[in-house]
Amino acid sequence: YEITNNTTSILSKSSEFSYIIVGGGTAGECSVDYPSLTIANRLTVNPNISVLVIEAGRNLRDDPRITDPGSFGVADYSDLEWDYVSTNQSLGNRSQALTVGKVLGGSSAINGMQWTRGTAAQYDALEKLGNPGWNFDSMQKRYMKKSERFHKPTLNQTNLGVTFQPSAHGLNGRVSTGFPNPYPCPLCNLWDVLIQASSAVFPGIRTTGEIDQCSGDPRGVSRCSYSIIPGSDSDLEAGENIRSSSAESYVYSLSPNDRPNLHILVEHKAVNIVWNEHPDLPPSARGVAFQAESDPSQSFLAIVQKEVIVSLGALSSAPFLERSGVGDRNLLENLDISVTADLPAVGTNLQDQAGIFSLFDASFMMNTTNHAPAAGAAAFVTLPQILGSKGAEAYVQDLKHSLQQRAQRIVDTGGLTSFEGASKVLEIQFEQIGTENAPVVELDFIALPASSAFAASTWILLPQYRGNIHITSNDPRIVPAKDFTLVVNASLATRKLFTQPSVKNLYSLELLPGLTVQTPEDFTAYVFANYSAVGHFIGTVPMLPQSLGGAVDAELKVYGVKGVRVADASILPIQLSAHLQSTVYGIAEKAAEMILNEYEKGRREEM
Ligand SMILES: Cc1cc2nc3c(=O)[nH]c(=O)nc-3n(C[C@H](O)[C@H](O)[C@H](O)COP(=O)(O)OP(=O)(O)OC[C@H]3O[C@@H](n4cnc5c(N)ncnc54)[C@H](O)[C@@H]3O)c2cc1C
């Protein structure tokens, strides 16, 4: 394979590729990798199959900010990120920095590496929403586990409090996962105290047993697992744990002479799809126009034989489609973009999981010698655990009675295009929160490396708001609905947890929210003034029937055109009680399988 920023080096050999993948991020590389598996091995030796990946970020293979898991939250990532900023939000009248990765490996190269999955019912909900074949059984067994090479915890790690379920993990995939080794104790004491204190604050929360945040039931509080290559047991050398980004897992780990048919062009921005127009057929992708990041006046065109796979992430895939003439007709015509497909769903349904930070000055320095991720344990908390059973019942009743009104508001504010679709997704979320008791809040316990501070990051998991992102303006509006009640309550619960006597012993001062924040009103004001986006963006090219406001079908094909699929976090129509990367890898594995099956079918038909 080759990775280069030199367009001539790539286009001089061929300007035509079987598949062009725009975006070399978390999902993009997975699609590239699939050819290493059985059927596809045959394909890659076929010189007619070639793949071009176009990635705007740089190839920074050995940058310690990426490779060292201890860098997250400490190192300056500003040159590895896109500088998306939202418009002022309806809540708090503030804009938000929207962080996503701009580097080969995408967000998987700069994320917090936590390795978790949603509840089984949340994947089943994809099927209920009209996407045949998208359910937990198949996502977990065939795709999410397939992407994973889990390192079972050592005896030492389990003795130190790590829990897991063997059946929740894949052992033969490419993304290395597991627990840091050596395990970052003496912080274990901190995690143990926080885990115990959680049970005092969140009645009934699981703190023992084989809790595994990848099992389909993440409820409870337990130690985090990560997308890392754990260090060896004996060697205490710094740098032993290494981040396993998608670039590390799917590209760098290949032998350099492997895959001469894989071309990765970095530092180039994909601008739009160029189309073949037929009088009687839907437009089909002819190629991708792209430009050098260093000199946008230099434009190039790569031709595609089969398909363009759009994997630019939830903030860039929809704008790319709109620049390609796929989007809302009025919006495109106002911008003088020729309309290839009138698909108003593109760019709607943006969701993140708004969060808030608490910070404490501890009486000891955090151990940072073994380059382990900073988050040690995470609590996935249900509604009754946050609000008590009466409070939860009242909240659920309110969700039920306001459902139609909220669905209408989502449509009115450009969050989804179909009232029926909005009602359906809200009903499904209502079931998850009210009946299935899915976690609605996550608390991460974090030791800030090279400091004496530790923190809790608290965020809502299943937002009811919907925003949008369009090329006219970068406008992801957040409609608060009921969610901020939960952030405020979660923030109050975090304070309660950190004032349990056992936890209080561990720090001398609460730095954030700080002692001026005392009453529920203070907390509400604090949350409104300080909540932030957490980087878990989804939904802007929703996988739903078109009549319900979808932009891609269950095969990830964009409605109204041929030869274009979207495979990244954009296609998820609803949030999960989870961090997203494991699911995005699963989406990409499934996409790769569908693409290759179709390729094979086409070949058989040609013969
Ligand atoms: C700060 C942060 C922390 C997170 N922490 C966790 C965590 O701990 N655990 C977890 O599971 N998830 C976490 N996530 C979420 C997770 O990383 C993402 O949901 C997931 O990686 C998204 O994958 P993707 O393929 O959709 O997009 P990305 O991985 O972002 O890939 C998109 C790629 O497209 C490229 N691109 C965009 N526009 C263009 C263009 N026009 N031309 C060419 N290239 C372009 C980008 O540079 C990028 O490489 C975190 C995310 C962030 C931002």
Q: Catalytic residues, which ones?
A: 536, 579
Res 16: pLDDT: 94
Q: What is the mean pLDDT of residues 475-488?
A: 74
Question: Residue 447 is part of which domain span?
Answer: 153-245+351-530
In ligand 1, the atom with minimum distance to the C-alpha of 290 is: 42
- The phi and psi torsions of 287 (rounded to 5 degrees) equal 175, -175
- Rounded CA Rg of the chain: 23
Res 237: pLDDT: 47
Give the integer Cα–Cα distance in Å for 337 and 275.
Answer: 13
Q: What is the mean pLDDT of residues 35-39?
A: 28
272 and 255 inside one domain: yes
225 and 274 inside one domain: no
pLDDT tens digit string along 269-301?
999 999 999 888 999 999 999 999 999 998 999
145 in any annotated domain: no
Q: What is the mean pLDDT of residues 469-478?
A: 72
- Which residues have CB under 8 Å from 43's CB, separation 6+? 35, 49, 596, 599
pLDDT tens digit string along 179-188?
998 887 767 8
- Ligand 1 centroid from CA 67, angstroms: 16
Among 17, 24, 60, residue whose Cα is nearest residue 268: 24
Task: Report the CATH number that the domain containing residue 487 is assigned in CATH.
Answer: 3.30.560.10
Assign residue 520 a region: left if phi > 0, alpha if psi is -120 to 50, beta otherwise?
Answer: alpha
Question: How many domains is the chain built from?
Answer: 2
- DSSP, res 109: G
- Ligand 1 centroid from CA 317, angstroms: 11
Cβ(438) to ligand 1 under 6 A? no
Cα separations in angstroms, 461 against 312, 417, 442, 484, 537:
23, 23, 7, 12, 12
pLDDT tens digit string along 163-178?
999 999 999 998 999 9
Q: What is the mean pLDDT of residues 210-226?
A: 96
Percent of the chain having pLDDT more than 70?
A: 93
The structure tokens listed for 68 are 């060292």
211 and 359 inside one domain: yes
Q: What is the mean pLDDT of residues 98-108?
A: 95
Give the integer Cα–Cα distance in Å for 142 and 451.
Answer: 42
3-state DSSP of 366-419: CCCCCCCCCEEEEEEECHHHHHHHHHHHHHHHHHHHCHHHHHHHHHHCCCCCCH
Cβ(350) to ligand 1 under 6 A? no
Task: Report the CATH number that the domain containing residue 298 is assigned in CATH.
Answer: 3.50.50.60
238 and 364 inside one domain: yes
Res 28: pLDDT: 61
Cβ(486) to ligand 1 under 6 A? no
578 in any annotated domain: yes
Among 92, 10, 67, 48, residue whose Cα is nearest residue 525: 92
- Ligand 1 centroid from CA 284, angstroms: 27
Res 33: pLDDT: 38
504 and 588 inside one domain: no
Res 38: pLDDT: 26
Cβ(556) to ligand 1 under 6 A? no
241 and 252 inside one domain: no
Give the integer Cα–Cα distance in Å for 593 and 471.
Answer: 31
Res 363: pLDDT: 72
Q: What is the mean pLDDT of residues 146-161?
A: 92
Q: What is the mean pLDDT of residues 193-212?
A: 94
Cβ(291) to ligand 1 under 6 A? no
Confidence of residue 509 (pLDDT cuts 50, 70, 90): very high
Q: What is the number of helices (H) and of strands (E) in the chain?
A: 18, 22
Q: What is the mean pLDDT of residues 73-84?
A: 94
The dihedral over CA atoms of 123, 128, 129, 131, expressed in degrees to the nearest 10, equals 80
**43 has pLDDT over 60:** no
459 and 507 inside one domain: yes
Q: Which of 183-187, 259-263, 397-401, 412-416 has the lowest mean pLDDT?
A: 183-187
Q: Which of 1-10, 99-108, 109-118, 184-193 has the lowest mean pLDDT?
A: 184-193
pLDDT tens digit string along 542-554?
999 999 999 999 9
- Ligand 1 centroid from CA 82, angstroms: 10
- Average per-residue pLDDT for the chain: 90
Res 123: pLDDT: 98
In ligand 1, the atom with minimum distance to the C-alpha of 568 is: 26
298 and 430 inside one domain: no
- Which residues have CB under 8 Å from 147's CB, separation 6+? 30, 170, 173, 174, 175, 582, 585, 586, 588, 589
Give the integer Cα–Cα distance in Å for 102 and 83.
Answer: 9
The structure tokens listed for 503 are 């936890």
287 and 376 inside one domain: no
**35 has pLDDT over 70:** no
- Asked if residue 348 lies in contact with residue 416, where contact means CB atoms within 8 angstroms, the answer is yes
231 and 356 inside one domain: yes
**30 has pLDDT over 50:** no
Give the residue whose CA is nearest to atom 49 of ligand 1: 106
Domain boundary among 471, 504, 530: 530
84 in any annotated domain: no
Cβ(569) to ligand 1 under 6 A? yes
Binding-site sequence positions for FAD: 103
403 and 490 inside one domain: yes
Q: What is the mean pLDDT of residues 566-574?
A: 96
367 in any annotated domain: yes
Give the residue whose CA is nearest to atom 1 of ligand 1: 111
- Ligand 1 centroid from CA 178, angstroms: 20
Cα separations in angstroms, 205 against 145, 164, 353, 373, 563:
26, 17, 21, 24, 48
Q: For a ligand 1 pocket test, name from 312, 322, 444 the mutation site with the most ligand atoms within 8 angstroms of its C-beta.
A: 312
Cβ(23) to ligand 1 under 6 A? yes
- Which residues have CB under 8 Å from 435's CB, separation 6+? none
Q: What is the mean pLDDT of residues 324-338?
A: 95
Res 156: pLDDT: 87
